[in-house]
Structure 1
Amino acid sequence: MENRYFLFKSHKQYDQHTVVNDEIVPRHELEQLKAEGNAIEVDYGSYSDYRQKAQQLTSNYDKTVARIKKNDSPLWTSEVKDYELKKAWDEYEAETKAIQAEWEQERAQMQADAKAKAARATIRVSESDRQTAEQMANRIALNIASVSNTADLKTIIMQASDDITYLSDAEKTALQGQLSGILSQIDAKAEKFGAKGVSTRELVNEVLDIRNMDLLSEKVAGQLPGSITIEYDTKRRAKRRQRPVNVSSY
């Protein structure tokens, strides 16, 4: 099974707070992100167990199909083989759908638990944290107020984003209360300059970059795969494309 990592920061085409695996992002890159503190390995719990069960059902089915097709007994006419193959498929399909239903129930419970955990997650914010956030917000606001062109505005946004990376989770949490005012001020300046494409995404992402996994648990659980029956799904699509149904379609 692949290893999964939760991104605290955007990486290439993958957005912040995305779960990626070492099948789509090279393992060495993920390990580097982890070493830098920009990603953390996450466990999908019972998902791996369900995937293994689904893969075992497919393996068993494939062996049954191979055994039926290789049977060269005169008694095993094409009609008999068609019957046995259909029977094998029906059993495989029923067992696969049953295990998929189990996973969907388990997944829903995991997501509900994560949602509850995230809702109750707290980050203790001290008066010192609030003062640090307020002072930073004031500095950013003054810098924005002083700019006279779009280029300087973009520079200020980049500098503010970089400064925010040095804040603690508690300080970033306190800064979140100041964020809407800062964004409104940026929008007003951009409109004044007639500027287009002034992005505040990096700034917002930095303020949201809080590493409390209880708080982020809902984001992780929200990316749990819906299907565990990848091999079955592929076979089913292939069967639908094959007409008429006969020995070769199983």
Structure 2
Amino acid sequence: MSEQTVFLYQPYEKHEQHSVLNLEAGEAQQLITEGKAVAVNLGDYGEYRKKAQAVHSDYKRAERKIKQSDNPLHTDEYKRYELDKAYQDYEQQTKALQAEWEQKRKEMQADARRKAARATVHISESDNQTAEQVASRIALNIAGASNAASLTEVVDRASQDVSYLSDAEKTALQSKLAGIISQIEGKADRYGVKVNANKIIQEAQDVRNMDLLAEKVADQLPSSIDVEYRTKNAVKRRRTSTVRGI
């Protein structure tokens, strides 16, 4: 079953907004079609994973060959020696690849930070005016909310209104949200109710400029490429501990 890596523009199931996920291809494509996610490429990560997997496969072949040898000269002691040697070679190669990936990952994250820092969303006077009006309308509606139910309705409507804005209008609105969120929280405390004001922030942050979002993607690059080695090493350690009676 093929998978696809996507970046979430919006929360999905238990996953937060701006998460990077590996999903079944059909599921991923559905989210992309609905405008809730975009396909992303994790750069050199895939190549390093393939290299690590190839090293693991070579080790497994060598291990199998040693264990299955029926050469009478290959005593148990000889096989243990050869197995230890094969594992040491495997470990050395894997650790070298992991070190390379860690350095490459740092470089990719630094590049992404530079790209995000220099990314711009052009905001016109019209965008600012729209954001100002939207913020004023939301604030007025919050002020007019007379009970918990109406406050919840206002927040839901505000979230929906913000979702209709352009990237530039959302960016202009972001600087005006702190007061709105404080206003919502104050009303919620007064009515003794929990209101998810964060949904307004999520909609305002749903700006689909991948240069601006590059750092969020890079921060989620996997830290390791040696999954098979880690699993094998954990099993090896457990066996050693069992033999020693630990």
| TM-score normalised per structure 1 | 0.94
Identity of aligned residues (%): 53
In 1, Cα distance between equivalents of 2:25 and 2:71: 50
Q: Which residue of 2 aligns with 1:7?
A: 8
Tell me the CA shift for residue 28 of structure 1: 2.1
Equivalent positions of 1:163-182 (< 5 A) are 163-182=161-180
Tell me the CA shift for residue 27 of structure 1: 2.5
The one-letter amino acid of 1:27's match is: A
Q: Which runs of 5+ in 2 are unaligned?
A: none
Tell me the CA shift for residue 201 of structure 1: 1.6
Equivalent positions of 1:126-141 (< 5 A) are 126-141=124-139
Q: Which runs of 5+ in 1 are unaligned?
A: none
| TM-score normalised per structure 2 | 0.95
Indicate yes or no: 2:48 matched with 1:64: no
| Stretches (4+) displaced over 6 A | none
In 2, Cα distance between equivalents of 1:150 and 1:3: 42
In 1, Cα distance between equivalents of 2:171 and 2:180: 15
Tell me the CA shift for residue 199 of structure 1: 1.4
- Secondary structure at the aligned position of 2:38 is classed as strand
Indicate yes or no: 2:17 matched with 1:16: yes
The one-letter amino acid of 2:196's match is: S
Tell me the CA shift for residue 194 of structure 1: 2.5
Cα contact 2:163–2:203 (8 A) shared by 1? yes
In 2, Cα distance between equivalents of 1:161 and 1:230: 41
Q: Which residue of 2 aligns with 1:150?
A: 148
Q: Which residue of 1 aligns with 2:75?
A: 77
Cα deviation code 1:176-226 (max 9, x no counterpart)? 11101101111111122232x211121110011100001100000000001
In 2, Cα distance between equivalents of 1:164 and 1:109: 36
Change in Cα spacing, 1:178 to 1:244, as seen in structure 2 (3 Å) is: closer
Q: Which residue of 2 aligns with 1:222?
A: 219
Q: Which residue of 2 aligns with 1:31?
A: 29
Q: Give the total of aligned pairs.
A: 242
